[in-house]
Amino acid sequence: MSTPEFSLWIFLSSIIAGLLGSLTGLGGGVVIVPVLTVLFHVDIHYAIGASLVSVIATSSGAAAAYVREGYSNIRIGMFLEIATTVGALFGAWLTTRVPTHAIGIVFGVVLLYSAYASVRMKHREHGADKPDPLATRLRMNGTMPTAEGPESYVAQRVPAGFSLMFLAGSLSGLLGIGSGAVKVLAMDQAMRLPFKVSTTTSNFMIGVTAAASAGIYLSRGYISPGLAMPVMLGVLGGSLVGSKILVHAHVRILRIVFAVVIVALGLEMMINSIAGKL
């Protein structure tokens, strides 16, 4: 395969990854890294480096649209980014001390969990929740647009959500993903935010989390411009399209399709890691 063909296929794959990542809040990295390593046989460290760059692009592309539409909660996102950033630095530090095949196995487990989370997590009514004292003190409330008008909400169980965000950041730094599954789970299930708020705020946070660990990968020479550029452009384009679809569409079927795809990728990555092919 020639270099232009290689770049074109990576670009097209990245568009799909960005679209799915934007719609679900899971981040395009969960698709990009296994696609690059399994299908294109890219070294996992360079795949992670390109993924981190693309994750920043995803956040930049989708988050701006979600903030403009009134879905993302910037105050909640910036508070939780403290935990994800510290976790991302810790995860990036672990990459030099964890074997490549072990990273691949962990990634496969994360993919399988992401598939389960993307299908099982459901939006539920939040209006009857008693406000968390810490959330009230930090003004972690807001409104989101609905067909019936603005819907009010307030965060719950902030310490639990903050702890899960550290785990999400660690996975991001270690695996080169936005770890959106853990972020959305923490906000939707632990903090009991509306699902669309969880998804869009996750997209807002992903870029900052990835930037914290991308600097470390760049200093180690794991970010190749020739690989990162088509990945970044494809993911950015896909995320912009996904941000427009999410506002108006029901994404249940898309999440099921997404789950099927990443289950296949996760199993393939775990098999290749155990066989020593990564």
- pLDDT tens string 32-48: 888 888 888 898 889 88
Cα(195)–Cα(251) distance, rounded to whole angstroms?
Answer: 11
The DSSP letter of residue 126 is -
Q: How much is the mean pLDDT over the chain?
A: 80
Amino acid 8: pLDDT: 93
Q: Are 87 and 168 in contact (CB under 8 A)?
A: yes
Mention every residue, 6+ apart, whose C-beta is less than 8 A from residue 130.
156
Amino acid 121: pLDDT: 58
Q: Please identify which residue in the block is written with the tokens 């009857």.
A: 128
Q: For 188-212, b where at least 16 C-beta lie within 10 A, e where not — what string?
A: bbbbbbbbbbbbbbbbbbbbbbbbb
Amino acid 11: pLDDT: 94
SS3 (DSSP) at 220: coil
Q: Are 36 and 269 in contact (CB under 8 A)?
A: no
Q: Tokens standing for 13?
A: 């794959």
Beta bridge partners of 231: none
Residues of the chain scoring pLDDT < 70: 24-29, 58, 60-62, 100, 118, 121-131, 176-181, 247, 249-252, 254-255, 277-278
Amino acid 129: pLDDT: 57
Give start and end residues of each alpha helix (H) in the chain: 3-24, 29-34, 44-69, 74-94, 100-120, 133-137, 158-175, 180-185, 195-219, 225-248, 252-274
